[in-house]
């Protein structure tokens, strides 16, 4: 029986970077990273996997019906696996209509939660969703009903994920009392990569040595990922966005957001921002 | 001599099979009552689990000649030896709910039990031969097939492409039933009003779009295969697949491959190999999101 670890985050918070890192770390020596085959960390929301587990199309079930069988589908994936099973998620930690948690059952070992300054998330998310303005993204980041693939009017390759607002997303995972969660700040991933990635690797129950972690970090540096995307494209890049690996910087909000936009984000997410060090006690912005 | 009561059975023809069913299946084309029956569909009790499954997932179990599928809130379905499907319906479920799973996953399972190659895709006919549009769920198969149908290419089957070898060992594709299933975004693209169209299940917005012309259920030679997938590029891209790679790509497109038991594989792979020699095959990357369907269909038709 495999043990499931979720790699989870609000979008644009370092999840894909970590997936690329794990792909390098778990890959054979000399194996080239293929951005379009991040197969060691598939998406838990991928319909194809769920269709295989159900024996029929997940699209032939309503969202609510599908969420009722989802925990069993994940458990079945784990039963057929050995060792650690890594799955990427953007959904919030939530329950189905029958009050059964979607992401907590006997096969789940824990979750790595990636968090990033919501001011930078906003800028990056607005580039990712080119159809939205910054103001619309700010509104979505505070919208309890914000979801991905949540339309009932067309079939999408992913199943519905309900993100909710940024703060409630953070809280849903980090304050859940059912599965262990290891929180990683994007800013720390950039500032102290070796220590931060090593702590994540240990949380995932992996025993790789420091030099292997360092090697994987070099193989998936931001410049390298950007170069790979330039050469071979990246299938997870949404249409309308020039590149998925855009800047990856800390503090890019400073040159993009107006003071009014900053104030709205801070007002919506003050408590969570203080808790994770994005806002200090005196109300000053860090990063 | 005593004459027992026998329930009324409906008779249909689909995917080369004569089907006798206790459940009315208005989507299917009727068959003559004199033809011998290949598949019987009955209402009855279905076990909750199989004794010794060889393959299983969260809601199905399969063993040689047996397939059990469970749809919560709808019912349990059991297919045996490619000859019988038993339906154990839950109370409160509708006929549409039952028919969607019966005519999809269960019919696909039966075809596989019979060693018939079943690919995930829709088929239309052209003067040059039949054309299959394959791909995973959500790739745009039915939408593309409907667009081709609007251009005058008649429907052979939607969502399921059944291929079997004839007596001369030549692969032939068989007609399914005259219906498309489309989501509202596709309906809008074809200016079809949702109001007049039946939902495929009461809980889904997806609609059943009947194909008004009769479909021919006879055998056809398959000449072209297009494997669709979504991409984030702006333009659609076509790449011809050559040689043995065609067989590998076709294998990936087998409908419910997880149901395929070892004993049926020989016949299925023999058909696959024969099919690979007959077709021209293209991998098609379709831009994600809104596309100019007209231009996309032009590109497909130019390769017929």
Rounded Cα distance, B35 and B14, in Å: 13
A84-112 pLDDT per residue, tens: 999 999 999 999 999 999 999 889 999 99
Please count the other Cβ atoms lying within 10 Å of the Cβ belonging to residue B63: 15
Q: A274-281: list long-range contacts, CB under 8 Å, 24+ apart.
A: A276/A115, A276/A170, A276/A183, A276/A185, A277/A185, A278/A117, A278/A118, A278/A119
* Cross-chain Cβ contact B58/A75 below 8 Å: yes
Hey, of B49, B54, B59, which one would you mutate to test binding to chain A, going by the most A CBs within 10 A of its CB? B59
> Smallest CA–CA separation between A179 and chain B, in Å?
22
Q: Which residues of chain B make contact with A73, given a CB cutoff of 8 A?
A: 57-59
For residue A143, pLDDT over 90 is answered with: yes
CATH number for the domain formed by residue range(s) B117-301: 3.40.50
Rounded Cα distance, A133 and A237, in Å: 18
Which positions ≥6 away from A226 have C-beta within 8 Å?
Answer: A243, A245
Helix (H, G, I), strand (E, B) or coil at A203: helix
Are B269 and B164 within 8 A, CB to CB? no
Helix (H) or strand (E) holding B55: strand B55-56
Instruction: Give contacts of A 149-178 with B, CB under 8 A.
Output: 152-157
Rounded Cα distance, B125 and B155, in Å: 6
Residues facing B125 on adjacent strands: B130
Give the up-direction half-sphere exposure of residue B28: CA atoms within 13 A in the CB hemisphere. Answer: 24
CB-based contact, A76 to chain B, within 8 Å? yes
Q: Which residues of chain A make contact with B289, given a CB cutoff of 8 A?
A: 239-240
CB-based contact, B289 to chain A, within 8 Å? yes
Q: Dihedral sign, CA of A247, A253, A254, A256?
A: positive
Q: Which residues of chain A make contact with B206, given a CB cutoff of 8 A?
A: 59, 155
For residue B2, pLDDT over 60 is answered with: no
**Chain B: residue whose CA lies nearest to A244:** B232
A19-56 pLDDT per residue, tens: 999 999 998 766 777 877 778 889 999 999 999 999 99
* Mean pLDDT on A125-152: 92
Q: Which residues of chain B make contact with A57, given a CB cutoff of 8 A?
A: 104-105, 137
Q: Where are the domains of chain B?
A: 10-113, 117-301
Q: Which residues of chain B make contact with A60, given a CB cutoff of 8 A?
A: 100-101, 104, 200-201, 204
* Mean pLDDT on B54-67: 97
Indicate the residue of A75, A155, A234 with minimum beta-carbon distance to B137.
Answer: A155
User: pLDDT exceeding 90 applies to what percent of chain B?
Assistant: 80
User: pLDDT exceeding 70 applies to what percent of chain A?
Assistant: 98
Rounded Cα distance, B107 and B101, in Å: 8
CB-based contact, B206 to chain A, within 8 Å? yes
| Residue B119 or residue B3, greater confidence | B119
Give the up-direction half-sphere exposure of residue B296: CA atoms within 13 A in the CB hemisphere. Answer: 25
* Mean pLDDT on B89-105: 96
User: pLDDT exceeding 90 applies to what percent of chain A?
Assistant: 72
B174-214 pLDDT per residue, tens: 999 999 999 999 999 899 988 889 999 999 999 999 988 87
Hey, of A56, A63, A72, A159, which one would you mutate to test binding to chain B, going by the most B CBs within 10 A of its CB? A56
Rounded Cα distance, A66 and A57, in Å: 10
* Cross-chain Cβ contact A65/B73 below 8 Å: yes
Radius of gyration of chain B (CA): 19
CB-based contact, B100 to chain A, within 8 Å? yes
Are B16 and B116 within 8 A, CB to CB? yes
> Smallest CA–CA separation between B127 and chain A, in Å?
32
Helix (H, G, I), strand (E, B) or coil at B83: coil
Residues facing B224 on adjacent strands: B131, B280
Question: Do the bridges between strand B280-287 and strand B222-231 make them parallel or antiparallel, or are there none, so unpaired?
Answer: parallel
B223-278 pLDDT per residue, tens: 999 999 887 777 889 999 999 999 999 999 999 999 999 989 999 999 999 999 99
CA B146 to chain centre: 15
pLDDT at B224 (0 to 100):
96
Instruction: Give contacts of A 133-152 with B, CB under 8 A.
Output: 152
- For chain A, list the domains and their CATH numbers: 3-117+146-240 (3.40.50.300)
* Cross-chain Cβ contact B59/A155 below 8 Å: no
Q: Which residues of chain B make contact with A62, given a CB cutoff of 8 A?
A: 203-204
pLDDT at A60 (0 to 100):
96
């Amino acid at each position: 029986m495999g043990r499931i670890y979720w790699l989870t985050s609000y979008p644009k918070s370092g999840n894909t970077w970590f997936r690329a890192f794990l792909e390098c770390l778990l890959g054979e020596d000399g194996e080239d990273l293929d951005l379009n085959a991040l197969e060691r960390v598939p998406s838990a929301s991928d319909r194809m996997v769920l269709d295989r587990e159900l024996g029929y199309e997940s699209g032939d079930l309503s969202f609510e019906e599908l969420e009722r069988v989802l925990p069993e589908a994940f458990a079945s994936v784990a039963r057929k696996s050995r060792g650690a099973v890594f799955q990427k998620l953007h959904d919030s930690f939530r329950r189905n209509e029958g009050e059964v948690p979607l992401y907590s059952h006997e096969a789940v070992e824990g979750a790595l939660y990636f968090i990033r300054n919501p001011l930078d998330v906003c800028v990056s998310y607005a580039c990712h969703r080119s159809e939205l303005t910054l103001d619309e993204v700010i509104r979505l980041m505070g919208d309890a009903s914000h979801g991905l693939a949540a339309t009932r009017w067309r079939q999408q390759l992913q199943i519905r994920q309900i993100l909710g607002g940024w703060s409630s997303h953070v809280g849903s995972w980090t304050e859940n009392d059912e599965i262990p969660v290891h929180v990683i700040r994007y800013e720390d991933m950039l500032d102290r990569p070796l220590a931060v990635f090593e702590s994540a690797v240990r949380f995932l129950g992996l025993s790789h040595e420091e030099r292997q972690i360092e090697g994987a970090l070099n193989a998936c540096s931001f410049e390298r990922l950007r170069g790979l995307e330039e050469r071979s494209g990246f299938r997870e890049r949404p249409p309308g966005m020039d590149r998925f690996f855009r800047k990856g910087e800390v503090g890019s909000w400073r040159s993009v957001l107006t003071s009014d936009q900053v104030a709205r984000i801070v007002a919506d997410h003050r408590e969570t921002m203080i808790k994770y060090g994005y806002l200090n006690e005196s109300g000053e912005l860090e990063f | 001599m005593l004459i027992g009561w026998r329930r009324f059975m409906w008779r249909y023809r689909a995917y080369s099979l004569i089907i006798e069913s206790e459940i009315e299946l208005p989507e299917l084309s009727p068959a003559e009552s004199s033809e011998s029956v290949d598949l019987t569909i009955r209402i009855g009790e279905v076990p909750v689990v199989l004794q010794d499954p060889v393959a299983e997932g969260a809601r199905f179990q399969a063993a040689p000649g047996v397939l059990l599928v469970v749809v919560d809130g709808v019912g349990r379905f059991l297919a045996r030896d490619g000859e019988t499907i038993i339906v154990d319906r839950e109370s409160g479920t509708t006929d549409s709910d039952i028919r969607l799973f019966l005519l999809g996953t269960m019919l696909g399972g039966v075809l596989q039990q019979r060693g018939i190659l079943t690919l995930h895709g829709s088929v239309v006919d052209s003067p040059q031969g039949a054309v299959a549009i394959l791909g995973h769920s959500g790739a745009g198969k039915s939408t593309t097939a409907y667009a081709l149908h609007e251009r005058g290419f008649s429907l052979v089957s939607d969502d399921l492409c059944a291929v079997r070898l004839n007596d001369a060992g030549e692969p032939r594709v068989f007609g399914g039933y005259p219906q498309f299933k489309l989501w509202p975004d596709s309906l809008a693209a074809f200016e079809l009003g949702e109001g007049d169209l039946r939902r495929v299940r009461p809980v889904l917005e997806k609609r059943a779009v009947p194909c008004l012309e009769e479909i021919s259920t006879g055998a056809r030679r398959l000449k072209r295969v297009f494997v669709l997938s979504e991409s984030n590029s702006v333009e659609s891209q076509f790449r011809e697949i050559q040689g043995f790679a065609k067989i590998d790509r076709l294998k990936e497109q087998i409908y419910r491959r997880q149901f395929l038991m070892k004993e049926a594989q020989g016949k299925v792979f023999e058909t696959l190999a024969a099919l690979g020699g007959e077709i021209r095959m293209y991998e098609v990357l379709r831009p994600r999101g809104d596309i100019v369907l007209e231009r996309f269909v032009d590109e497909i038709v130019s390769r017929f």
